[in-house]
Amino acid sequence: MSHHYQSILASIRTEVLPLQHDGAVANYIPELMTVPPERFGMHLRTVDGHDFAVGDSDEPFSIQSISKVFALALVVSLVGEKIFKRVGVEPSGSSFNSLVQLEYERGIPRNPLINAGAMVVCDVLIGQLKRPKQELLAFVRQLAQNKRIGFNERVAASEKEFGFRNIALANFLKSFGNIQHDVSDVLDLYFHMCSIEMSCRDLATAFLLFANHGTRPGSTDAVLTKSQTKRLNAVMQTCGFYDEAGEFSFTVGLPGKSGVGGGIVALHPHRYAVATWSPRLNAKGNSVMGMKALELLTTKLGSSIF
Ligand code: GLN
pLDDT, tens only, 266-292: 999 999 999 999 999 999 889 999 999
Mean pLDDT of 61-86: 97
Point out the residues that are catalytic. 65, 68, 190, 242, 260
Mean pLDDT of 22-41: 92
Average pLDDT, the chain: 96
As a CATH number, domain 2-301 is: 3.40.710.10
Helices in 17-131 by DSSP H: which ranges?
67-79, 100-104, 115-128
pLDDT at 243: 87
pLDDT at 93: 84
Strand, helix or coil for residue 113: coil
Q: Is the pLDDT of residue 120 over 60?
A: yes
User: pLDDT confidence of 96, banded at 50, 70, 90?
Assistant: confident
Any ligand 1 atom below 6 A from CB of 111: no
- Residue 302's CB: how many other CB atoms inside 10 A? 6
pLDDT at 2: 55
Q: What totals of helices (H) and strands (E) does the chain contain, helices first? A: 12, 7
pLDDT at 180: 98
CA of 65 to the centre of ligand 1 (A): 5
Any ligand 1 atom below 6 A from CB of 204: no
Mean pLDDT of 121-134: 98
Q: Could you tell me the pTM of the whole model?
A: 0.97
CA of 260 to the centre of ligand 1 (A): 6
Cα angle vertex 66, ends 305, 107, to 5°?
Answer: 100
- At 12, which amino acid appears? I
- Residue 253's CB: how many other CB atoms inside 10 A? 19
Mean pLDDT of 188-206: 98
Residue 276 to residue 259: CA distance in whole angstroms? 11
Are 297 and 274 in contact, with CB atoms under 8 Å apart? yes
pLDDT at 3: 60
Mean pLDDT of 240-250: 93
Helices in the chain by DSSP H: which ranges?
4-16, 67-79, 100-104, 115-128, 132-144, 153-162, 164-175, 183-194, 200-211, 226-239, 245-251, 288-301
Mean pLDDT of 91-97: 87
Domain ranges of the chain: 2-301
Mutate to test the pocket of ligand 1, among 70, 97, 120, 192 (most ligand atoms within 8 A of CB): 97
